[in-house]
Amino acid sequence: MKVCIVGASGHYGYALEGIHKRDGIQLAGIAPGSKDERIGELDRSVQAFQPSVSQYEDYRIMLDELKPNIVVINSYFNDNANITIEALERGIHVFVEKPVATTYEDLERVEDTYRKSSVHLATMLGLRYERHFFTAWKKIQEGGIGEVRLMNAQKSYKLGKRSRFYTKRETYGGTIPWVGSHAIDWMHWMSGQKFQSVFASHSTLYNQEHGDLEASALCHFTFSNQVFGSVNIDYFRPEQAPSHDDDRIRIAGTRGVIEVRGQKVYLINDEIEGVQELPLLSGGQIFDDFIGHVREEKKSLLSAEDSFLVTRACLKARESADSQMVVYF
Amino acid sequence: MKVCIVGASGHYGYALEGIHKRDGIQLAGIAPGSKDERIGELDRSVQAFQPSVSQYEDYRIMLDELKPNIVVINSYFNDNANITIEALERGIHVFVEKPVATTYEDLERVEDTYRKSSVHLATMLGLRYERHFFTAWKKIQEGGIGEVRLMNAQKSYKLGKRSRFYTKRETYGGTIPWVGSHAIDWMHWMSGQKFQSVFASHSTLYNQEHGDLEASALCHFTFSNQVFGSVNIDYFRPEQAPSHDDDRIRIAGTRGVIEVRGQKVYLINDEIEGVQELPLLSGGQIFDDFIGHVREEKKSLLSAEDSFLVTRACLKARESADSQMVVYF
């Protein structure tokens, strides 16, 4: 099975890690996907374990010549949709950075092309596979908190000094889609409810000369069955903080409350005295799971439909924040 | 200085505790404020340390006969506004349950009457005085997190079996005003920013036969200077949980993040390695602070204007949740 990588502006590391875990997967070629995109770091990572890999300047020529089974796409965020379409049209399975599109038009084109294909597609919503989030999801599926009623998710990052393409809405897409997508996915995934509306706000103030990049954002989602969920996102985590991110979710249900914080999972419910810290389950590895699905060994944790739905939810939240209006699904 | 208490359906305990701390304060009389309101528990508490206290059936007669300097008001929530007006018209200082009114009309009548008076009024937003919240506020005032950008506050309670007046919107007022008012106050108080808009949701589902009582709610506030804040409120804390409530706030600023959780305060900022747990400061006692203001010894931590503003913010949030529309200030 042959894999190519297009671009080096996202989480291609997921793919390298997954390839390591599997036999019979050949990393065949790499290429930039965006104009001026640098892929030197990807090249160095790849050379370290597979020096025979080919490097192309034009990813389309690479896809035509190498005919990979799977393409890993992570260029400037606005280019990922077009690259995805090029791959889908060639019948290649797509493992692409989230969100798969930064505009409604691109998302619709991707969805249309996907539905005409017979391949697998998933976005890099890798946090589903993190042990703490996977464990919380599993416990909710088992009824550990009863019916989900109220959710609060958090993404907090260090800003540092980001590449120039982060500073333009056109190439970056926005902080809600880029950072928030994970948290938006958790809420939908963990509750099993349908998105109904979103009201959101975001601000570029105090973004340390990062142009259009929003340094803070807040989203308020309503779901079916009168379930509600908030997402707070910020780039204000101090450089000195103990970790790059501070990802969290708290979910209150009819029987208890589950919480992911500091990579741990805490549960209180009507059967527990005090707070229980749950033993962490393994959620697997995202690219390994993708390959397992492609090889029809299993159904992957993350479907193409989920990938599209979360992308749409991100774009609606961004639209709400831009317009300061409630946006409906 | 003479104090009377009207009603026993709220936090009159604040007043009893404050009276204990002061010399020269006489608890003169108690009376119910709402039709059918039971004040037996108040009566027993009072008898324990001041058996000479008079009990009245009609609080207006009590106010006229005993002529207290201060009246403590905590009847069914919808009656507190009218009782407050009766007291203000008699020139009596008012320490009243929050929110001071459950409708816009009542709030306006209270404000009008207050402005014609020359007395002090404060609502029972007692959590400002809790050491952990007071410490967080103080640290923010000192610049510990720079400019406030994003806030997330939480109120989570055990439901238990509530008095019948909680089950009717008319007498209860709603979960956002009753439970959420504290968190709404923290955001305004800690950020120093002005309320601009609110979008909110609430649901009575799974309220264990509590009629109109909303068991979950979520509010999204925007403030001046593009500051945003969420409040999540639920009555889903399991009976077995270690405490009645799980009150929290997390505030991200341009220099760091401060967090109140489990009655502790945690700070990360650009001068700290790791997470610092702050030593807790004393915020004083709310009724003692009220008396200090009345006696012109000091300016109280909580003004009448703040009390009115938070009440209005609660009513706007409730209006938003009822209408599913954004409501502006």
Calculate the alpha carbon distances from B93 to A247, B1, B5, B259, B295 in Å. Answer: 47, 11, 12, 35, 11
Q: Is 90 exceeded by the pLDDT of residue A48?
A: no
Q: Is 90 exceeded by the pLDDT of residue B48?
A: no
What is the least distance, in Å, from the CA of A107 to any CA of chain B?
Answer: 28
Contact B53, B79 (CB under 8 A): no
What is the least distance, in Å, from the CA of A8 to any CA of chain B?
Answer: 30
Among B220, B271, B275, whose Cβ lies nearest the Cβ of A199? B220
Which residues does chain A have within 8 Å of residue B191's beta carbon, measured at their own beta carbons? none
| Average pLDDT over every residue of A308-312 | 98
Q: What is the pLDDT of residue A50?
A: 83
Structure tokens at B293: 């203001």
pTM: 0.97
Q: Interface pTM (ipTM) of the complex?
A: 0.96
What are the φ and ψ backbone dihedral angles of B141, each rounded to 5 degrees? -60, -35
Q: Is 90 exceeded by the pLDDT of residue B101?
A: yes
What is the least distance, in Å, from the CA of B217 to any CA of chain A?
Answer: 8
Contact A230, B183 (CB under 8 A): no
pLDDT per position as a tens digit, A143-158: 999 999 999 999 999 9
DSSP A194: P
Query: Could you tell me which chain A residue has the CA closest to the CA of B207?
Result: A254
A-B CB pairs within 8 A amount to: 161
Which residues does chain B have within 8 Å of residue A197's beta carbon, measured at their own beta carbons? 324
Cβ A268–B234 below 8 Å, yes or no? no
Which residues does chain B have within 8 Å of residue A242's beta carbon, measured at their own beta carbons? 268, 274-275
| Arithmetic mean of pLDDT over chain B | 97
Residue type, B77: F
| Average pLDDT over every residue of B72-91 | 98
| Average pLDDT over every residue of B314-325 | 98
Closest CA to A62 of A37, A36, A83, A40: A83
Nearest-angstrom CA–CA distance, A64 and A85: 14
Best mutation target among A201, A205, A237, A267 (most B Cβ atoms within 10 Å) is A201
* Residue for token pair 């070629």: A29
User: What's the Rg (C-alpha) of chain A?
Assistant: 20
Which residues does chain B have within 8 Å of residue A156's beta carbon, measured at their own beta carbons? 252, 257
Nearest-angstrom CA–CA distance, B215 and B166: 11
Helix B304-323 and helix B181-191, axial crossing angle in degrees, nearest 10: 120
Task: Report the greatest alpha carbon distance in chain A.
Answer: 62
What are the φ and ψ backbone dihedral angles of B18, each rounded to 5 degrees? -70, -40
pLDDT per position as a tens digit, B166-175: 999 999 999 9
Q: Which residues contact B117 (CB under 8 A, 6 or more apart)?
A: B88, B89, B91
Structure tokens at B38: 């039971």
Among A228, A246, A255, whose Cβ lies nearest the Cβ of B216? A228
Which residues does chain B have within 8 Å of residue A158's beta carbon, measured at their own beta carbons? none
Residue type, B259: E
| Average pLDDT over every residue of A307-314 | 98
pLDDT per position as a tens digit, B257-310: 999 999 999 999 999 989 999 999 999 999 999 999 999 999 999 999 999 999
Nearest-angstrom CA–CA distance, B305 and B285: 20
pLDDT per position as a tens digit, B300-314: 999 999 999 999 999
The share of chain A scoring above pLDDT 90, in percent, equals: 96
pLDDT per position as a tens digit, B217-239: 999 999 999 999 999 999 999 99
Among A154, A228, A240, whose Cβ lies nearest the Cβ of B201? A228
Which residues does chain B have within 8 Å of residue A250's beta carbon, measured at their own beta carbons? 154, 232
Contact B294, B93 (CB under 8 A): yes
Cβ A150–B216 below 8 Å, yes or no? yes
Nearest-angstrom CA–CA distance, A313 and A327: 10
What is the least distance, in Å, from the CA of A94 to any CA of chain B?
Answer: 36
| Average pLDDT over every residue of A29-39 | 96
What are the φ and ψ backbone dihedral angles of A25, each rounded to 5 degrees? -110, 125
Q: Is 90 exceeded by the pLDDT of residue A100?
A: yes
Which residues does chain B have within 8 Å of residue A215's beta carbon, measured at their own beta carbons? 149
Q: What is the pLDDT of residue A110?
A: 98
What is the least distance, in Å, from the CA of A272 to any CA of chain B?
Answer: 7
| Arithmetic mean of pLDDT over chain A | 97
What's the pLDDT band for B49 if we cut at 50, 70, 90?
confident
